[in-house]
Amino acid sequence: MKSITECSIGCEGIIVRIKAKEPVKGRLFSLGLSKGSELKVLDHTLAKQTWEVESDGTKIALREEEAASIFIEPKGCEA
Amino acid sequence: MKKIKVALAGQPNVGKSSIINSITGARLHVGNFSGVTVEKKEVFIQRDGYEIEIIDLPGIYSLNAYTPEEYVAKHFLFEEDYDLIVNVVDANTLSRNLIFTMQLMDMQKKMILIVNMIDEVEKQGGSVDKEQLEELLGIPVILTSAKEHRGVDEIIDQIIRSHEQPKPKNKIFYDERIEAQIEKIVKVLHKSPHFKDPDYARFIAIRLLDRDEEIYKVIHDLPIFIELHELLGKIYKHLEREFDEESTSDIMSDERYALAKALVMGALKSPPKRISLTDRLDKLLIHPIFGLPIFLFFMWLLFQLTFEIGSIPMEWIDAGFIQMSNLVKAVLPEGAIQSVLADGVIPAVGSIIMFLPNILILFMGINLLEQTGYMARTAFLLDGFMKKFGLQGKAFIPLVSGFGCTVPAYMAARTLKNPTDRIITMLVLGFMSCSARLPVYVLLIGAFFPTSHAGNILFIIYISGAILGLIVAKVLRLVLFKGEPEPFVMEMPPYRFPSMKALAMELWIKAKLFLKKAGTFIAGASMIIWFLSAYPHQPEIEAHYMQKIEAVQDEATKTLLRNEMVAKELEASYLGQIGKTIEPIFEPLGFDWRMSVAVVAGLAAKEVVVSTLATLYAVGEADEQSHTLIQRLRENVSFKAAIALIVIIMIYSPCIAAMSTFWAEVPQWAWRGFYLVYPNVLAWLMAFGVYNILGWMGY
Ligand SMILES: Nc1nc2c(ncn2[C@@H]2O[C@H](COP(=O)(O)OP(=O)(O)OP(=O)(O)O)[C@@H](O)[C@H]2O)c(=O)[nH]1
Ligand SMILES: [Mg+2]
């Protein structure tokens, strides 16, 4: 289990935990990010302050803080 | 006529507004990012003896609303009277859309489900099974593509049919352990006369499990509250232990998530996964290193085009109006009417209409940004940068709209959840130069800079406005609003090919509005300016100069004297008197009274600055049509004063329409007052600084 901000671009996995507080948690959920859904890390900005992930056809941009609160069980991505 | 009122609800960017446009021929604003519609809009249509009112609501991700524009939708759904809900979902992201659909179905109202964007799913080889969805959800389903006008005409027929038939039975039930608790809550709710209706009571019970704070506030004042409160406490604990979750809202979310997955499993044939166009474009456009430079290049290109292409038809338009004015002079007898038309209204309106091409190109750029989906990318790219200035990436969207017009930009700030973020954004929005300021810039750039640099100068002006806005935002954040900006979570839509029809329509609407404004508001304002500048009559001055002119023989001296006379008369006019009164304020900036009047008149609308300059510099000369406004400006205004004028225009209060929008959106008196004062003070100080620095540099 590791947080999204520990992943590199192209990393994929299943979401196992979302630590964010309400109402951000609810927002993430209504965008389709929820325990058990698949997630792929698509991009981050140069300073890694903003991240882009994809889940079930939806692409979502989030800040480091929010990204760090999402944990995935990675599969098929290096380190 | 019988009436049906329909609430059109759904998640953002699923095509709600597009669907209304495609059914009714309305012209609602459409764009490829979340939060295009921020205020509800009614559209009427008549069919089969019914008058159907469709209300386009802002997109809303979940009934646990988050941003102000989502609250608009939520309040409408919860509090207004309407006959049925039309829920639009995006076929591409069906499962998360259906989660919201289930929340809506909890309301137990009549409902129709529209699965939109079916064209995109089918093109990729997927499909949606309409019958299966209808069977599983128990409500009518229509597959549509607003883009290809497919299925949309069925919507109205289905609305009428659903209205005439009884509501089908509810088919959405949760886990029996949850249903048992809902039952308990409903029993207590029934004790209150407000919740006698079992459907409504069920809805309230579910919302309470969803931890909806607004519903909680509603029951808070009821006599059953104590009993309910105690019961809820027990139920929350019980369910949370039973499901091993932190909160019942998580339990409900998981339930809906599982149900949605099951629905999609039965009804959606997913397209095979492959690398989409969006993925490939994003590889480049939001590349960690190249993303920002590419964005800056696009912006630079836009202003370059705005100036270069926009200036091509300018001379023809200008010449056309000069012709018109000469024609009026030839046809009408000399006198006040001839003069007000030929010297007042026509040059003023002409001086504005000249800039229509520039403005349309700018709007075209903004529209393409909105339609393609690049807008959301810019928010992503700039979020880190904006964070340094105490804002977040999403705030960039209203800021960019501000380059078009400040009014919708103030409205767009509703997509920011945090009130502090929102007020800061709104306070600096005025520094994003709107399209109405474009004429002033283009005019002054044309007069004081070589044409080869014009596009770059325009770009610099816009960028400096934006940078100033960011700096002010930072200062406001440090001084007035301590605390962190809100979290940034935003959907990135797939790229979509811009619809040329939508673009043409937008430009057409913008052109119409602009011409209407020029023909009414600007014409009216310039008429006032003309009258104020022509009266009172000065028989003594005239007599005095006429004598002198008679006395000399030399033609050149005669012209000189005639010009002097007209200038003296203008100075003695009402406007001249007003101008002289306010001149001291602007004197340190190197403005003469005419520029001062133009700046003050510009508070009504920025175009008026140009039209006023046109009138004042035209009537100030005896031989009116021999010079263009640009030449007159070069003769009368110094370079550093021109730059100071640009700085003032860039910073000071926007037009009346924008100011009243700000007042409508911000209820606090303190902010309203602050908003009226600080941009003007800042503008003056900055202009003063620039004027003096240029002076030291020897300009
Ligand atoms: N391919 C395709 N694109 C569509 C369809 N319907 C809408 N769009 C596009 O989807 C985007 C969003 O459309 P809007 O009508 O603005 O969506 P909305 O639901 O009103 O969005 P908000 O007002 O932000 O809630 C626009 O770029 C439309 O051109 C469709 O059926 N097919
Ligand atoms: Mg809309």
pLDDT tens, residue by residue, B586-626: 999 999 888 999 999 999 889 889 988 888 887 655 554 55
Spatial separation of the C-alpha atoms in residues B478 and B498, rounded to whole Å = 40
Residue nearest to atom 7 of ligand 1 (CA): B15
Nearest CA to B358 among B272, B269, B455, B222? B455
Is residue B638 within 8 Å of residue B376, measured between CB atoms?
no
Contact B383 A63 (CB under 8 A): yes
Kindly state the average pLDDT of the residues B246-255. Answer: 91
ipTM for the complex?
0.93
The whole-number pLDDT of residue B271 equals 79
| DSSP E strand stretches across B223-380 | 268-269
B199 Cβ contact partners less than 8 Å away, ≥ 6 residues apart? B108, B170
Predicted TM-score (pTM) of the model is 0.88
CB contact A8 to B (< 8 Å): no
Distance from CA of B2 to the nearest CA of A (A): 37
Q: Which residue of A has its CA nearest to B376?
A: A61
Kindly state the average pLDDT of the residues B51-62. Answer: 95
Phi, psi of B580, deg, nearest 5: -65, -35
The tokens for A75 are: 């599969």
Facing residues of B131 across strands?
A: none
Spatial separation of the C-alpha atoms in residues B76 and B699, rounded to whole Å = 59
CB contact A43 to B (< 8 Å): yes
CB contact A58 to B (< 8 Å): yes
Is residue B632 very low, low, confident or very high in pLDDT (cuts 50, 70, 90)? confident
DSSP state of B588: G
Contact B66 A27 (CB under 8 A): yes
The DSSP string of B33-68 is: STTS--S-EEEEEEETTEEEEEEEPPP-S-SS--SH
The whole-number pLDDT of residue B620 equals 58
Is residue B629 very low, low, confident or very high in pLDDT (cuts 50, 70, 90)? confident
Phi, psi of B126, deg, nearest 5: -100, 180
User: How many CB pairs (< 8 A) connect A and B?
Assistant: 112
Residues B2-19 pLDDT 10s: 999 999 999 999 999 999
The whole-number pLDDT of residue B1 equals 83
> To the nearest whole percent, how much of chain B has pLDDT over 90?
57
Distance from CA of A54 to the nearest CA of B (A): 9
The residue that leads in pLDDT, B467 or B534, is B467
The whole-number pLDDT of residue B81 equals 93
Kindly state the average pLDDT of the residues B530-546. Answer: 83
Cα–ligand 1 centroid distance for B117 (angstroms): 8
Spatial separation of the C-alpha atoms in residues B302 and A54, rounded to whole Å = 31
Contact B490 A62 (CB under 8 A): yes
CB contact A28 to B (< 8 Å): yes
Residue nearest to atom 11 of ligand 1 (CA): B32
Parallel/antiparallel/unpaired status of strands B2-10 and A70-74: unpaired
Kindly state the average pLDDT of the residues A20-42. Answer: 88
Kindly state the average pLDDT of the residues B130-139. Answer: 93
Facing residues of A59 across strands?
A: A54, B492
Q: Is a pLDDT exceeding 90 seen at residue B120?
A: yes
Distance from CA of A21 to the nearest CA of B (A): 11
Contact A42 B282 (CB under 8 A): yes
Residue nearest to atom 27 of ligand 1 (CA): B32
Cα–ligand 1 centroid distance for A53 (angstroms): 22
Which ligand is closest to the CA of B15, given by its number?
Answer: 1
Phi, psi of B614, deg, nearest 5: -60, -45
Spatial separation of the C-alpha atoms in residues B80 and B78, rounded to whole Å = 6
Contact A59 B492 (CB under 8 A): yes
The residue that leads in pLDDT, B149 or B66, is B149
Residue nearest to atom 13 of ligand 1 (CA): B15
Residues B385-407 pLDDT 10s: 888 888 888 899 999 889 988 99
CATH of residue A36's domain is 2.30.30.90
The whole-number pLDDT of residue A22 equals 81
Q: Is a pLDDT exceeding 80 seen at residue A18?
A: yes
* Number of the ligand 1 atom closest to the C-alpha atom of B116: 31
The whole-number pLDDT of residue B243 equals 92
Residues B320-334 pLDDT 10s: 888 888 898 888 888
> To the nearest whole percent, how much of chain B has pLDDT over 70?
98
Expressed as residue numbers, the domain containing A32 is 2-75
Q: How many domains does chain A have?
A: 1
Q: Which residues line ligand 1 (CB under 6 A)?
A: B 12-18, 30-32, 34-37, 58-59, 116-117, 119-120, 145-147, 371, 496, 499
Q: Which residues of A touch B207 (CB under 8 A)?
A: none
Distance from CA of B27 to the nearest CA of A (A): 28
Cα–ligand 1 centroid distance for B496 (angstroms): 10
Is residue B151 within 8 Å of residue B145, measured between CB atoms?
yes
Nearest CA to B109 among B200, B204, B38, B186? B200
CB contact B636 to A (< 8 Å): no
Cα–ligand 1 centroid distance for B34 (angstroms): 9
